[in-house]
């Protein structure tokens, strides 16, 4: 899921905005310099998701993704209430919770690196 969202932001895959469109969105919600944050966010989602799938540096990748989910909750979803059907923070909170569990519990026995 993180990888797909990163590809949307970076490359415009899966009907995503691409880097320029995502940077414009970030400008609208107050991030500057938006192009830098667009690349940081897209790369974090793509590479963080890949690291989780591969079981590499799982705790670090999950912690980094938690930070980005908290920022998304605060800057984008919090003002829209709880429920995801209204654009609320319900779904990003679930994603952040799963990442917190990975930080606390670790990658499991099938990880490439423990």
Please, where are the H alpha helices in the chain?
A: 2-11, 18-28, 34-54, 58-72, 90-105
Do 9 and 2 meet the contact criterion of CB atoms below 8 Å apart?
no
* 7 pLDDT above the threshold of 70: yes
Q: What is the mean pLDDT of residues 25-36?
A: 96
* 114 pLDDT above the threshold of 70: no
Rounded to two decimals, what is the model's pTM? Answer: 0.90
Contacts of 88 (CB under 8 A, 6+ apart): 77, 80, 81, 82
Residues 35-82 pLDDT 10s: 999 999 999 999 999 999 999 999 999 999 999 999 999 999 999 999
């Amino acid at each position: 899921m993180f990888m797909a969202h990163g590809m949307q932001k970076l490359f415009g895959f899966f009907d995503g905005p691409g880097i320029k469109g995502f940077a414009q969105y970030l400008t609208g919600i107050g991030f500057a310099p938006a192009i830098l944050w667009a690349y940081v966010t897209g790369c974090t989602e793509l590479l963080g998701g890949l690291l989780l799938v591969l079981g590499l540096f799982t705790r670090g990748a999950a912690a980094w993704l938690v930070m980005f989910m908290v920022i998304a909750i605060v800057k984008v979803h919090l003002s829209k209430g709880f429920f995801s059907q209204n654009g609320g923070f319900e779904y990003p909170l679930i994603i952040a919770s799963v990442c917190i569990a990975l930080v606390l519990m670790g990658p499991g026995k099938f990880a490439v690196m423990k």
